[in-house]
Structure 1
Amino acid sequence: MIKLDYSQHQCPYPVIETRKQILANPGQALEVLVSDQAGRDNVTRLAEKMNYQASATAVGNNFRLNLTPAAGESDVTPVNQAVNESAITGKTVIYCGSDRMGQGDDEFGRVLMRNFLTTLLEMEPLPDIILFVNSGINLTTEGSDILEALQTLVSRGVDIASCGLCLDFYQKKDLLKVGRTTNMFEMVEVQCQAGRIICP
């Protein structure tokens, strides 16, 4: 049995790493330690989608999950399996109009956006282009704590484009650290021609 201790990590790390272990070790049982109910529930859902049975036991403030392959051949197809290409034409565009995700606490919103962009690294296929607009350009400029993940996306073929007018407004044009600048005409054109637009 493979033992994994993710009790010091928050979502989405336990799910991402457990998925990697299942894909790397098909048919192997796993024991996963997570820190809270959200981690327990998220890893359980992942396991069930990948045809594993999951049982959880409370261990102090943590939860220990035993994941075992269900009867028959385990389905280790990635949970993010690509949508049939015939169903969608045009590019996949992610539109980041802010450096935060959702409404509510600003700092927590930044944590959610960071988690979203980091989790993108695990997706197949990757988006074609990510547009950063308004305060979203804070994610691509000096001082951002997500630059490494964005650089990795660029190295894997994702087009990272930041609004030039927004960079000027926030006086950060010389502080762009990843990707390129774009303009309103291109942003409108890209979205009008997109197969799907995702707005985190």
Structure 2
Amino acid sequence: MEILDCKGLACPSPVLRTKELIESRTVEAVQILVDNEAASQNVSRFLQSRGFQPDVTSDAGVFTITGNRAESAPASKECEVMSDRQLGLDQARTMVMIATDRIGYGDDTLGKKLMVNFLSTLKEMEGLWRLVFVNNGVKLTVAGAETVPAIQELESSGVSVLVCGTCLTFFDLLDKKKVGETTNMLDIVTSMQVASKVINL
């Protein structure tokens, strides 16, 4: 079993080191050590996306993610080239990145109300593919936020919702997240690359 000690590393380093390991050689089992829950969730999700079955345990603030390659996902495979249609690249993919909990400058109460209205109206946007919340924007996804129902409705309709794990941890909100997947900067950068259009707020 390959072991990676990623304690003390900032996002997205644990995911990048895990990616480097499993792409550099044939790996059937890995064990990754991290020291925060956001990194644990990000590494687990990455391993799962690469055909591993992750299992997480924690002790004294250290999270151990053990990943075993699933039987249905052999370690050695020739690279399969997928068509644009298979990848969904023939369709509009609009990504909206939200880095604030209000819209515009001036009155904060008005700005927050505008954000609620914006998220409630986003379902009318054709080709909406993914919402990404970073910095103060993550506060829109946690318990008590007036915006949670609108975001949940979008997620239920098939829109992907990603929430920055480092940002949640910084604001001590990781346990209060009510909607979306905890994500890392690698996923965010990849999303920007794949999207046909990126809207920043």
Unaligned 5+ segments in structure 2 are 1-89
Report the Cα distance in structure 2 between the residues aligned to 1:164 and 1:114, rounded to whole angstroms: 22
Amino acid at match of 2:185: M
Distance change in 2, residues 1:146/1:133 (3 Å): same
Q: 1:109 aligns with which of 111, 116, 124?
A: 111
How is 1:75-86 mapped onto 2 (pairs within 5 angstroms)? none
Report the Cα distance in structure 1 between the residues aligned to 2:186 and 2:125, rounded to whole angstroms: 28
1:135 maps to what in 2?
Answer: 136
Query: Alignment RMSD, CA only?
Result: 1.5
Aligned residues: 112
Amino acid at match of 1:119: T
Report the Cα distance in structure 1 between the residues aligned to 2:187 and 2:179, rounded to whole angstroms: 18
Amino acid at match of 1:130: L
Check if 1:184 corresponds to 2:179. no
Report the Cα distance in structure 1 between the residues aligned to 2:160 and 2:92, rounded to whole angstroms: 15
Report the Cα distance in structure 1 between the residues aligned to 2:150 and 2:91, rounded to whole angstroms: 27
Answer with 1 or 2: which has the greater Rg.
1
Deviation of the 1:98 alpha carbon: 0.5
Deviation of the 1:90 alpha carbon: 5.8
Report the Cα distance in structure 2 between the residues aligned to 1:90 and 1:187, rounded to whole angstroms: 18
Report the Cα distance in structure 2 between the residues aligned to 1:158 and 1:108, rounded to whole angstroms: 26
- Per the normalisation by structure 1, the TM-score is 0.53
Report the Cα distance in structure 2 between the residues aligned to 1:136 and 1:184, rounded to whole angstroms: 15
Deviation of the 1:192 alpha carbon: 2.1
Report the Cα distance in structure 2 between the residues aligned to 1:187 and 1:172, rounded to whole angstroms: 19
Unaligned 5+ segments in structure 1 are 1-87
Amino acid at match of 2:154: L
How is 1:160-179 mapped onto 2 (pairs within 5 angstroms)? 160-179=161-180
Report the Cα distance in structure 1 between the residues aligned to 2:138 and 2:122, rounded to whole angstroms: 18
Deviation of the 1:143 alpha carbon: 1.2
Contact preservation (8 Å) 1:90, 1:193: no
- Secondary structure of 1:102's counterpart equals coil
Check if 1:123 corresponds to 2:120. no
Deviation of the 1:89 alpha carbon: 5.7
Contact preservation (8 Å) 1:164, 1:173: yes
Q: Which has the higher contact order (CA 8 A, sep 6+)?
A: 2
Q: Deviations over 1:102-121 (max 9, x none)?
A: 22222211111111100112
% same residue: 42
Q: Deviations over 1:40-91 (max 9, x none)?
A: xxxxxxxxxxxxxxxxxxxxxxxxxxxxxxxxxxxxxxxxxxxxxxxx8662
Q: 2:96 aligns with which of 74, 94, 97?
A: 94
- Per the normalisation by structure 2, the TM-score is 0.53
Contact preservation (8 Å) 1:134, 1:163: yes
- Secondary structure of 1:128's counterpart equals strand
How is 1:138-149 mapped onto 2 (pairs within 5 angstroms)? 138-149=139-150
Report the Cα distance in structure 1 between the residues aligned to 2:193 and 2:91, rounded to whole angstroms: 12
